[in-house]
Homo-oligomer: A and B are copies of this chain.
């Protein structure tokens, strides 16, 4: 049994807790939280909740620590620090800072003889893999990534910061006609506006100027001004009833040419339709915990990404079983 620890118990941590139960070769050993452990209720029976500050006392009880903090300020510190004592897996998703994070985790993990797998999830993660397989299979071609339909936390937060807004949810929606052009192998050049639209569901504070709120949202630089945005005003009850989920998804498409004078076109498409973005990310983190454990058992150390992991390391079955049933 692979002994799993969860570090950070929010949406992602809860998702890992359920995911571990779906993997018969894993057991949840402990949950670590920065809150008062006495106030953290977890679903698993008999699994202890410890203070994050006591984590080192449990280093021999855990084979892989799954880090469930945020990419902004938690993971840049926690992953390199915990990689000194544990095999770790994280979902660090700030694309621009991945090289720096990789280097920090690599240093800690190599010194400690541990494995750290970073930036695991679906983007970065499975979507990155699909871009890579697409580029490998069709070196002459174009890549397209569309996100949605789904809730963007960053954009929802941005709307909530607008004056007069009490609460809000923002959906990112791929433009169907753009998707169709890509699928047809047209290789279009698409502007930001042509790829996605944005839809906001806003609860206004009483007496707020709705026209001003709508205008403030639609003209917000970086977040909305480059998109066609729709704003709907709804009640707090409607927001709670119809928009409390965290669905997401998207599409990675590689379109390329082969043969004499590139006369043949091929289109590879990968898509996700997720009821719960954090639970799906948690499930992938859990599969990669297995890979971290196996690699480390073979004497491997250092930082890895999803690009470095042989796919078979993600599955509990033996090579023979996989060749027999899945190849």
Contact = CB atoms under 8 A, between A and B. Distances in A.
A136 interface: yes
A267 interface: yes
A306 interface: yes
Residue in A119, A273, A327 whose Cβ sees the most chain B Cβ within 10 Å: A327
Contact of A268 (B19, B268, B272): B272
A264 interface: yes
Interface in A282-327: 282-284, 287, 305-312, 314-315, 319-320, 322-324, 326-327
B280 A266 contact: yes
Contact of A323 (B98, B138, B271, B310): B98
A183 B271 CA distance: 11
Nearest to A271: B269
Interface string A248-265: 000000000011100111
A282 B137 CA distance: 9
Each complex incorporates copies of this chain amounting to 2
Interface stretch (A1-9, A69-77, A126-134, A217-225): A126-134
Contacts of A18: 258-260
Contact of A274 (B23, B102, B266): B266
A95 interface: yes
User: Nearest 5 A-B pairs (CB), nearest first?
Assistant: A136-B314, A264-B275, A136-B287, A307-B312, A264-B276
Contact of A258 (B128, B129, B137, B279): B279
A43 interface: yes
A291 to B, nearest CB: 9
A135 interface: yes
A323 B15 contact: no
Contacts of A136: 284, 287, 311, 314-315
Interface in A76-91: none
A230 interface: no
A99 interface: yes
Given A139-B283, A306-B311, 15 more contacts: A22-B258, A129-B133, A129-B311, A132-B312, A132-B314, A136-B311, A258-B282, A265-B275, A266-B273, A266-B283, A268-B270, A270-B270, A305-B323, A307-B322, A308-B311
Given A284-B137, A307-B310, A327-B305, A267 B259 contact: no
B95 A132 contact: no
Contact of A319 (B265, B275, B308): B308
A154 B304 CA distance: 43
B324 A99 contact: yes
A283 B256 CA distance: 11
A124 interface: yes
Contacts of A265: 275
